[in-house]
């Protein structure tokens, strides 16, 4: 019979067919999120008016260029945000430069300051500031550098009273100082030139490089201080060295020296030694083969 056979054939065909999924499977494409770079802040120059002052106190991590001249002039090169956070106030003839208490910490490259003033008698620099002072001509200057501040000074000054500490750096190699009164401590680093008199205290791992021709030198070095004065000559020198300090001096005509506690002192020339006291493994050496050792 043909009809049952036909029905059987149709059933076999239908059972062999698979259902086709008409909905295509779409895999999400690999999407890379672009890296958005914040545009650099627009740098502008902002001028500020200031009242007359004779002392300057920088308590912000800025780059500052100072010069002596007229009239008073103060400007900052930075962006709007930093410009708003910089505070300048004058009180009792002291210009104070600080940051607003709500501002974020600054890097030393965020703000550049240019300041011109007719006269400067006191200068305090802290907070990682970087300062360049050119054209200084003054009778007296009191200088304080601390908290990783760096400073370069050029010019001529009669008397410099300086305190440099807490990893601060002072380069005054091209500054002519007639009388230097200074204390250097706590990893300070100093390069300076003196021409007449120097009264110095160096301690706590401070490093002093000093040169010049002095009439009178008074030097005390403690607590692993390092004094390189091999280009420093003096008519009269009074030196105290202790606590593993190291001192090298140039030509000394008349020397009074106390050395103790593993300190080492050397000098050149045939000094007239009025008094040398050494104890606790201290060593004093004249580079002309004159040696004191205990």
The predicted-structure confidence for 131-140, as pLDDT tens digits, reads as follows: 999 999 999 9
Average pLDDT on 33-42 reads 50
Look at residue 293 and tell me whether its pLDDT is greater than 70: no
For the ranges 11-15, 25-29, 95-99, 119-123, which has the lowest average pLDDT? 25-29
Residue 175 near residue 123 (C-beta atoms within 8 A): no
271 pLDDT tier (thresholds 50, 70, 90): confident
Rounded Cα gap, residues 200 and 188, in angstroms: 13
pLDDT of 294 reads: 34
pLDDT of 10 reads: 59
Rounded Cα gap, residues 77 and 201, in angstroms: 38
If you search the block for the tokens 């502008």, which residue do you land on?
44
Percent of the chain at pLDDT > 70 equals: 81
- Average pLDDT for the chain: 86
Residue 160 near residue 212 (C-beta atoms within 8 A): no
Reported pTM: 0.82
pLDDT of 3 reads: 56
Helices (H), the chain: 2-16, 80-85
Rounded Cα gap, residues 121 and 140, in angstroms: 6
Q: Which of 256-282 are b and which e, b meaning 16 or more Cβ less than 10 Å from the residue's Cβ?
A: bbbbbebbbbbbebebebeebebeeeb
Percent of the chain at pLDDT > 90 equals: 69
CB atoms within 10 A of CB 294: 12
Nearest to 72 by CA among 84, 56, 92: 56
Average pLDDT on 243-263 reads 94
Look at residue 217 and tell me whether its pLDDT is greater than 50: yes
Rounded Cα gap, residues 98 and 82, in angstroms: 11
Look at residue 157 and tell me whether its pLDDT is greater than 80: yes
Q: Residue 182: CB partners within 8 Å, gap ≥ 6?
A: 160, 161, 162, 163, 164, 190, 192, 198, 199, 200, 201
For the ranges 185-189, 262-266, 273-277, which has the lowest average pLDDT? 273-277
Look at residue 180 and tell me whether its pLDDT is greater than 90: yes
Report residue 77 as tokens. 């090169």
Nearest to 171 by CA among 145, 152, 195, 143: 152
pLDDT of 24 reads: 47
Rounded Cα gap, residues 292 and 294, in angstroms: 7
pLDDT of 111 reads: 92
pLDDT of 101 reads: 79
CATH code for the domain defined by 42-171: 2.160.20.120
Strand ranges, E, within the chain: 44-48, 55-58, 63-68, 73-78, 86-91, 94-99, 112-117, 122-125, 130-145, 150-164, 169-184, 189-202, 207-221, 226-241, 246-260, 264-268, 272-279, 283-286, 290-293
Average pLDDT on 250-266 reads 93
Residue 97 near residue 90 (C-beta atoms within 8 A): no
Total residue length of the chain:
294
pLDDT of 220 reads: 97
Look at residue 153 and tell me whether its pLDDT is greater than 50: yes
Strand ranges, E, within 69-147: 73-78, 86-91, 94-99, 112-117, 122-125, 130-145
Rounded Cα gap, residues 291 and 288, in angstroms: 9
What are the pLDDT digits (tens) for 272-286?
Answer: 888 888 888 898 888
pLDDT of 291 reads: 43
């Amino acid at each position: 019979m043909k009809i049952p056979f036909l029905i059987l054939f149709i059933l076999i065909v239908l059972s062999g067919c698979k259902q086709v999924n008409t909905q295509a499977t779409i895999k999400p494409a690999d999407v890379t999120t672009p890296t958005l770079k914040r545009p650099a802040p627009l740098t502008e120059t902002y001028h500020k008016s200031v009242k007359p002052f004779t002392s300057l106190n920088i308590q912000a991590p800025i780059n500052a260029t100072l010069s002596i001249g007229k009239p008073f002039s103060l400007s900052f090169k930075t962006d709007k945000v930093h410009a708003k956070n910089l505070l300048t106030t004058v009180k009792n003839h002291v210009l104070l430069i600080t940051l607003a208490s709500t501002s974020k910490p600054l890097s030393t490259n965020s703000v550049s300051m240019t300041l011109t003033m007719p006269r400067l008698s006191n200068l305090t620099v802290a907070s990682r500031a970087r300062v360049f002072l050119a054209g200084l001509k003054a009778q007296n200057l009191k200088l304080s550098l601390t908290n990783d501040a760096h400073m370069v000074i050029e010019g001529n000054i009669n008397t410099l009273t300086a305190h440099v500490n807490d990893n601060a750096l002072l380069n005054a190699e091209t500054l002519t100082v007639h009388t230097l009164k200074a204390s250097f401590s706590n990893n300070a680093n100093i390069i300076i030139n003196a021409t007449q008199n120097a009264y110095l205290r160096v301690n706590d791992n401070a490093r002093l490089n000093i040169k010049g021709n002095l009439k009178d030198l008074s030097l005390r070095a403690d607590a692993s201080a390092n004094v390189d004065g091999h280009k420093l000559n003096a008519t009269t020198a009074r030196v105290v060295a202790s606590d593993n300090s190291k001192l090298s001096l140039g030509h000394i005509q008349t020397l009074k020296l106390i050395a103790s506690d593993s300190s080492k002192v050397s000098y050149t020339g045939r000094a007239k030694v009025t008094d040398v006291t050494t104890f606790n493994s201290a060593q004093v050496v004249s580079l002309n083969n004159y040696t004191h050792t205990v």
